[in-house]
Structures are given as C-alpha cells and as structure tokens.
Chains A and B, each alone.
Chain A
Amino acid sequence: MTTTTYDDTSVTVDDEGFFTDPGQWTEPMAQQIARELDIETLTDRHWQVLKFMRTEYEAKGTGPTVRVLGKTSGVSVKELYQLFPKGPAKTAAKIAGIPKPRGCI
C-alpha cells in the first residue's frame, strides 16, 4: 500500500493504484485520475457509470463486472469499452475511487 496525492489531498492506494478507502475520494479527484489513464475529459456518460460503480460498491462491497455494468448501468458493454478503452470495470473502479473489483473464480 502507498499514498498518492489527488486534488492536493493525500490518499491511500494499493499496488495497482486502486483506492483502499473509498471515503477519501472526491469528485474533483476523478478528472485527474482519468487523465493519468489517458481519458481526457469525463463526459456525462462517464459520470453515469462512475456514480453507478460507487452505488454498487456501497451496496455490495465490490464493484460490478463489465457484464453486470452492461446489464444494469444503462450503458451497453460496447459503449463501456468506448468510454473506458482499457477495460471498463477496472478503469471505472479506479476513477470512481473504489477498490479493485473482485473477479470471479
């Protein structure tokens, strides 16, 4: 675990850069994280996904998989990959300030 700084605030992240404490995340941090991941601007569609990720995390303790996102977030899997080309579930989780989604076994 390490610390890093977003929006002039120090936060703790894991080795892969996922927030370990989602409570430390604020909306202004999102844009900065997105840019580090080569997403220049966060559109309303991005935000729809990010907000959905956080609600799901709060309800279930883990972020949703891409397939669940495609079924329930109102954004299709195809569009999810256009919005977050390097893998929607992980990229959106990182930008939304939640821990790495637990994959299936």
Chain B
Amino acid sequence: MDKSIVILGSGTAGTLTANRLRRMYDERECRITVVDQNDDHVYQPGLLFVPFGLAEPHALVRPRPRQLLDGIAYRSAEIDRVDLAAEQVHFTDGTSLGYDVLVVATGASLLPEETEGLTGPGWGEKVHTFYDLPGAVALHQALERFEGGRVVIDVADLPIKCPVAPLEFAFLADWYFQRRGIRDRVELTYVTPLDGAFTKPVAAKALGGLLEEKGIELVTEFALGEVDGAGGRLVSYDEREVPFDLAVVVPVHGGAEYVERSPGLGDELGFVPVDRHTLQHPDHPYVFAIGDAAGLPASKAGSVAHFEGEVLAHNIGRFLAGKPLDASYDGHTNCFIETGFHKALLIDFNYDTEPLPGHFPGALGLPLLKESRANHLGKLAFEWLYWHSLLPGRELPGIGSAMPEHGKTHTPA
C-alpha cells in the first residue's frame, strides 16, 4: 500500500490523529502529512487561567512539529482551498498537495467582527475576550486595573469552543475579586443566548444553582446584536440592554475561512458536515473531519477530539483497506468545570445521555456534577496528560471513546 493521508490543521485534533495513524502505519505503507499556518501550538484550556494570573502565557505554547512522531511530514503553509473533484489542497503560496484521504482538523475560528461594535471603541480596553492568547493577556491587565463596577460575561452565540469555559470564567471572577477583597464592589452578570445556564437540563440546574450561590446574576435568551463600547452597553436583537464597565465577550465562531472557498466541503457556518458516528463526509467518502471543524451536534472540546480520534483512526484504516467503516463515535464529551476556591465540577455525557450525577469513570471515580477538590486536581492534571498522552494519541487509562455507564445515577432530567 502506498497511500497519502493529508491532515489539515495541527491543533489538538490534527496532531493526535496524525500520531494515531503513524502508530498504525509505517512510512512505506502510508505517507502522513500535517499542515498548519503557524508553528505555535497553544494549550487552549490554559487560556481560562491567564486573565487571573494563574497561568503564564508563554508556558502554554509549544512548537507544533515537536508534537508529531517521527515519520510524519509537517508543512508550514496556509490553506487557500480544497478542490474536492481534483483531490488537491491548494495553499496561498501557490503550491498544492494531492491526497488519498483528507482529514479536516482546522478547528473553529473566532469572528468578533461579525457582531456590530464588538471590535469598535473600547475593544481591548473595556471589551475583551479570553478565547485567544493576546486577548487573555490583555484581559489579565484589565482585571488587575479593575477596582470595582459591573463585569459582564457574555456568550454571543453558539456553537463555541468549550461551552463551559465562560461559566468557569464567571466562577473564577467571583473567586478573584474575593481574593482581592473587592468582591462587594463588583457586580457580576452572566449573559447567555440559551434559556438557562447550560443546554442540558440537569447540568443547567446544577450550574444555575452555583451562579446563584455565588451571587452572579444570570440573564438568559440574550442574543447579542450590538456592543456599545463607548456607552458600556450590550444590546440584544430584541433591544434589551445590559450595562457594563468591563465586558468579557465570547465572539461568534465559524469554521476556517478556506472551507467557504471550497465548494461542497462545508456548511453555512464553515463547519464540515460528517456522519455523526463514522466522521465521514456524506458526499465525499475520501474526506473526514474531526474536532472543532466538524459540524456535529457535540461539544467543541479537546476531550471530544480525543474520543473521536480513536474512532477516526480505526475508520481510516478500514477505508484504506476497502472495508466498510465499523467504528462509531457516540458523542462522548467530558468536561471539568473550574468553580473557584480550588474546586471543580465534572460532567460526562454523549449524544443520547444527559450529564448525570454519580461517579466517573466508575463507582469509585471522580464525583459527577458536584464540586470537589479531586475534580480541580483532575483539571490541573489534564495539562500534563494533554502534552504527554492525548496529543501523542495514546489511550488514557480507563477512559475510552465510549461513554462509561457504571457509576452513574439515571435520574430523569
């Protein structure tokens, strides 16, 4: 077999997929090429901690090529478009690359300019985001200067990466201002387009309860239409207003821009539609998508990319061998939710099952939907696991792709 697999994007999903495939095939059997537009791999979960001075920005960044096993070709280039009919990827430098199998792993991009006024007056001063590294650093400085007033955390629209991160930000902000001794001078408000603190009812109840306990006001069904930075107001499409002195906004997300320039590849938002179990493109069997780039009804999270990776590598193997795809992703998602004061919550769910109370991965494991120190330690340990186990494409002991059932209490939502 002399086949060529091209993986677009060398973030969490692209890197772990390349490494998994490399373990399956040696260089003579299969050429694996990974493409990315820049060489800095950012540990994105760490972005949550930067604004509060709990993580050093430079410690979150490592060189992309170094995360790839020997025998994987790394190419530093910006993708311009994919020609599905000719099975060619075109780069902005005028070169191109053919493939037998294409894996789209170019993630989600932030689109702050799509919201009126968001990048206008006040952007980077009193309107911030922590969803990229420069944003998180600027917000750290803004928080340090902040002496009191109204802080608003707003999710502009969904889908977003790590849908729990804005909630974690709100919980940590409560902790941060208490630690600075000015919590009584700060009003915290969490603003969401959803009709509760979170999508899934059981989790929405637990998380909504925590907001209340911590004195964080919850504003729901708020579709962000405009940010008036100068006037310090968020305005919804139905003309409600939320005033602020400091706004932390999670901008709308879309797929990578080149997807729109590649006819037949993506959907309206630039995400790539794939079968929710096999991760194969419905119209182009040679094309697969994984991670944030995939248009699936699953969370955009590194844990999802990890669980999908196991299924994807297996299915690509079957595909190249001319056999029917038989591995099936169940939508398994697993998120630690930092709640401040050295505690965290854990949720675990899939396409069909709500986040349930109980323990993970079995009866003796970490508590689900309950604050605990053990979960906080789990969240911190995740960084080491990310670089040393998840990216290299190794199995995490006891945690496979399929959602575990033991240890969960099936209380109805």
Interface residues of A (CB under 8 A from B): 65-68, 71-72, 77-78, 80-81, 85-87, 102-105
- Chain B residue nearest to A71 (CB atoms) is B268
Q: Is the CB of A87 within 8 A of B268?
A: no
Residue-by-residue, is B333-369 near A (CB-CB < 8 Å gives 1, otherwise 0)? 1000000000000000000000000000000000000
Q: How far is the CB of A83 from chain B (nearest CB, A)?
A: 11
Collect the chain A residues with CB atoms within 8 Å of residue B297's CB. Answer: 102, 104-105
Q: Is the CB of B194 within 8 A of A103?
A: yes
Q: Is the CB of A72 within 8 A of B268?
A: yes
Q: Is the CB of B158 within 8 A of A104?
A: yes
Collect the chain A residues with CB atoms within 8 Å of residue B237's CB. Answer: 66, 77-78, 80-81
| A–B pairs, 26, beta carbons within 8 Å | A65-B157, A65-B158, A67-B157, A68-B269, A71-B268, A71-B269, A77-B223, A77-B225, A77-B237, A78-B225, A78-B237, A80-B237, A81-B225, A87-B221, A102-B297, A103-B194, A104-B158, A104-B159, A104-B163, A104-B199, A105-B158, A105-B159, A105-B199, A105-B200, A105-B298, A105-B333
Residue-by-residue, is B237-274 near A (CB-CB < 8 Å gives 1, otherwise 0)? 11000000000000010000000000000001100000
- Bound CA span A44–B298, Å: 35
List the 3 closest A-B pairs by CB distance, nearest first.
A104-B158, A104-B159, A81-B237
Q: How far is the CB of B204 from chain A (nearest CB, A)?
A: 11
Q: Is the CB of B269 within 8 A of A81?
A: no
Q: Is the CB of B163 within 8 A of A105?
A: yes
Interface flag for B129 (CB, 8 Å)? no
Interface flag for B299 (CB, 8 Å)? yes
Q: Is the CB of A67 within 8 A of B238?
A: no
Interface residues of B (CB under 8 A from A): 157-159, 163, 194, 199-200, 221, 223, 225, 237-238, 252, 268-269, 297-299, 333
Residue from B199, B223, B225, B238 within 8 A of A103 (CB atoms) = B199
Q: Is the CB of A68 within 8 A of B268?
A: yes
Q: How far is the CB of B54 from chain A (nearest CB, A)?
A: 26
- Bound CA span A67–B155, Å: 14
Collect the chain B residues with CB atoms within 8 Å of residue A81's CB. Answer: 223, 225, 237-238
- Chain B residue nearest to A87 (CB atoms) is B221
- Given A66-B223, A67-B252, A77-B225, answer yes or no on A103-B158 (Cβ-Cβ < 8 Å): yes
Q: Other CB < 8 Å A-B pairs besides A87-B238, A105-B159, A105-B199, 17 of them? A: A65-B157, A65-B158, A66-B157, A66-B223, A67-B157, A67-B269, A68-B268, A71-B268, A71-B269, A85-B238, A86-B238, A87-B221, A87-B223, A103-B199, A104-B159, A104-B199, A105-B299
Q: How far is the CB of B155 from chain A (nearest CB, A)?
A: 11
Collect the chain A residues with CB atoms within 8 Å of residue B223's CB. Answer: 66, 77, 81, 87
- Bound CA span A86–B236, Å: 12
Q: How far is the CB of B335 from chain A (nearest CB, A)?
A: 10
- Chain B residue nearest to A84 (CB atoms) is B238
Collect the chain A residues with CB atoms within 8 Å of residue B159's CB. Answer: 104-105
- Bound CA span A72–B268, Å: 7
- Chain B residue nearest to A103 (CB atoms) is B199
Collect the chain B residues with CB atoms within 8 Å of residue A102's CB. Answer: 297
- Chain A residue nearest to B273 (CB atoms) is A60
- Bound CA span A103–B192, Å: 13
Q: How far is the CB of B249 from chain A (nearest CB, A)?
A: 16
- Chain A residue nearest to B299 (CB atoms) is A105
Collect the chain A residues with CB atoms within 8 Å of residue B157's CB. Answer: 65-67
Collect the chain B residues with CB atoms within 8 Å of residue A104's CB. Answer: 158-159, 163, 199, 297
Collect the chain B residues with CB atoms within 8 Å of residue A87's CB. Answer: 221, 223, 238
- Bound CA span A105–B252, Å: 14
Name the residue in A85, A86, A103 with the highest tally of chain B Cβ atoms < 10 Å from its Cβ: A103
- Bound CA span A74–B111, Å: 21
Collect the chain B residues with CB atoms within 8 Å of residue A65's CB. Answer: 157-158
- Bound CA span A102–B158, Å: 12
- Bound CA span A86–B200, Å: 22
Name the residue in B159, B200, B237, B298 with the highest tally of chain A Cβ atoms < 10 Å from its Cβ: B237
